[in-house]
Amino acid sequence: MILIIVTSVIILDQVTKYLALSFLQLNSPFVLVKNFFNLTLVYNCGAAFGLFQNQLLMFVAISVFAIAIILSSLRNKKNTLMFRLSLSLILGGAIGNLIDRLRFGFVIDFLDFRIWPVFNLADSFITIAAVLLARELLFNKNVT
C-alpha cells in the first residue's frame, strides 16, 4: 500500500507540473475564479514561501536525508496505519519536489489562491500529511 501511495503522489505531482509547464506562461496568471484562484506558473528556487532562495545543494541534501529517515520509519511495522499513511504522503511529495530540483534546479509551482504563496500538489500532500501526522502523534499513544 505504501508503494502505491508514494507512486500515486509522485505521478499526480509530476503530471500536473508537466501540464503547468506545457500550458501556462511563467508568472502570467490564468484566472479560474476571479479574485480567488488562479493557475500561475512560478519557478521556486527556495523553500516554502520562497525562503532561502538559490540553495539548491542544501535542499537536495535535506531532501535526501528526510527521504532516508522516512524510509527508515516506514520499515517499522508497529506504527499505526495513519502514521504510515502520513509518512507515505510526505515521502511522495518530497520525492516529487526533489525530482524538480534535480531536473530543473527549482520547484515548479502553479496553484495560486492569491492569499497564499503559489504551491503545487507535492506541497499539498506534504501539508495535509503533516497535519495528519501531528494529530496522530498528539492523540495516539500507539505511535513509536
With helix as H, strand as E and coil as C, how does 22-35 read?
HHCCECCCEEEECC
Question: Who contacts 9 (Cβ-Cβ below 8 Å, separation ≥6)?
Answer: 88, 89, 91, 92, 93, 95, 96, 121, 122, 125
Over residues 74-93, mean pLDDT: 92
45 pLDDT band, cuts 50/70/90, is: confident
Q: Which amino acid is at 116?
A: W
Q: Helix count (H) and strand count (E) of the chain?
A: 4, 3
- Whether 100 is a known active-site residue: answer no
pLDDT for residue 53: 67
Is residue 31 pLDDT above 80, yes or no?
yes
Is 104's pLDDT higher than 70? yes
Q: State mean pLDDT over 83-96.
A: 96
Above 80 in pLDDT, residue 48? no
Of residues 13, 100, 109, 112, which has the active-site annotation?
Answer: 109
pLDDT surpasses 90 at 47: no
- In one-letter notation, the amino acid at residue 135 is R
Q: What is the pLDDT of residues 9-22, one digit of tens each?
A: 999 999 999 999 99
Looking at 13, 100, 112, 123, which residue is catalytic? 123
Sheet of strand 37-44: strand arrangement: 30-33, 37-44, 107-112
User: What pLDDT sits at residue 49?
Assistant: 58
| Phi, psi of 34, rounded to the nearest 5 degrees | -50, 135
Q: Residue 13's closest CA among 103, 106, 92?
A: 92
Predicted TM-score (pTM) of this structure = 0.90
Active site residue 13: no
